[in-house]
DNA sequence: GGTATGAGCAACCAAGAGGTTGCCTATCAC
DNA sequence: GTGATAGGCAACCTCTTGGTTGCTCATACC
């Protein structure tokens, strides 16, 4: 069963590969739509730093910005997460399958000692 | 239903956030245990570059090295992939749930027109 | 109107990442 | 033994990244 799953966008992983951004994702998951200033306080960093992180997340399409008056609200856009989860799970499963085949092959080459009548 | 899922190790995402390393993962998924030299040829980079990438993957426990004679074979160690998939799927699901709650709330505030006998 | 607040833009900086070359060690094959 | 092959280590280089400060623009409030 050759995998049909296409390779995911590395930018999504890269975007998730930073603790600050991971925390932003968690925050947005909990609280929904928040403007940059709100997302900034509590963290020890500047608003501009947060803005950069958000733009990385936006580039990976993990987050969507909508302007409301003078503020910009960020919300999670979880489609990439879904794709990433599917890929990771597929790789995991496929690897298990390969190991099983390898196992079967090795068993055939070196049948285990003491098997009992025909399986024990 | 507050998420019990703990935050995943950012190093796993960071390790996956590079096209070269993603390709290495794919290669190992397909072909199983391979030494560095084999993993290197075909790619346009040096053996040392590949070694660095593999050490990043190993630090994230995505890959395991076993020495066989003079060569070192790398194999996928997919447990982190499983965890990552679970987290991503959980965030996806929780976000959908939050959106649904928001939706219900909005419906309650602005009941849709034409609801039937006693709503209109 | 004037003032406070939310956000964007640009320059800058230090540290890290991805890559290289050069050299050394260990194992295999003969 | 000799030579070829697999790999490790260290120094170096350049580009990116995470962060800052300073300034400007736009919207809201009174």
Is there a domain that residue B120 lies in? no
Strand partners, A34: A74
| DSSP element (H, E) containing B25 | helix B19-31
Sign of CA dihedral A85, A91, A94, A98: negative
Angle at which helix A19-31 crosses helix B79-109, to 10 degrees, equals 30
Our CA angle for B61, B64, B67, nearest 5°, is: 150
CATH of the domain at A47: 1.10.10.10
Contacts with B116 (C-beta within 8 Å, 6 or more apart), sequence order: none
| DSSP element (H, E) containing B72 | strand B71-76
Inter-residue contact A65 to A54 (CB < 8 Å): yes
User: Residue A38 CA to C3 C1' — how many Å?
Assistant: 22
Is there a domain that residue B25 lies in? yes
Is there a domain that residue A3 lies in? no
Is there a domain that residue B74 lies in? yes
The per-residue pLDDT of chain B, averaged, comes to 86
The residue among A29, A77, A88, A104 with the most chain B CBs within 10 A of its CB, best to mutate, is A88
Task: Say yes or no to pLDDT of A103 above 80.
Answer: no
Is there a domain that residue A43 lies in? yes
- What is the domain range of residue B66? 1-111
Kindly report the length of chain A: 120
Beta strands at B34-35 and B63-68: parallel, antiparallel or unpaired: unpaired
The structure tokens listed for A44 are 């020890």
Is there a domain that residue B117 lies in? no
pLDDT in tens, B6-65: 789 999 999 999 999 999 999 999 988 999 999 999 999 999 999 999 999 999 999 999
Q: Which residues of B touch A82 (CB under 8 A)?
A: 88-89, 92
**Are the Cβ atoms of B91 and A16 closer than 8 angstroms?**
no
Tell me how many domains chain A contains: 1
Query: Which nucleotide lies nearest residue A52, CA to C1'?
Result: D18
Which of A54-63, A85-94, B93-102 shows the lowest mean pLDDT across its residues? Answer: B93-102
Is there a domain that residue A110 lies in? no
- Strand D nucleotides, any atom under 7 Å from protein beta carbons: they are 5-11, 17-22, 26-28
Residue written as tokens 């950069």? A52
Note the pLDDT of residue B46. 97
Is there a domain that residue A82 lies in? no
Higher pLDDT, B68 or B110: B68
Stretch A67-84: mean pLDDT, rounded? 94
Q: Which residues of B touch A66 (CB under 8 A)?
A: none
Residue nearest to nucleotide D6 (CA to C1'): B71
**Are the Cβ atoms of A17 and B22 closer than 8 angstroms?**
no
């Amino acid at each position: 069963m050759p995998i049909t799953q296409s390779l995911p966008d590395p930018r999504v992983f890269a975007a998730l590969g930073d603790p600050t951004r991971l925390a932003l994702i968690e925050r947005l998951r909990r609280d929904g739509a928040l403007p940059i200033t709100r997302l900034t306080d509590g963290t020890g960093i500047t608003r501009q730093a947060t803005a950069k992180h958000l733009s990385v997340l936006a580039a990976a399409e993990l987050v969507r910005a909508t302007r409301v008056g003078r503020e910009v609200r960020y919300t999670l856009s979880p489609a990439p997460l879904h794709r990433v989860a599917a890929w990771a799970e597929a790789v995991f499963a496929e690897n298990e399958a390969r190991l099983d085949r390898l196992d079967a092959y090795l068993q055939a080459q070196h049948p285990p000692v003491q098997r009992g009548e025909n399986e024990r």
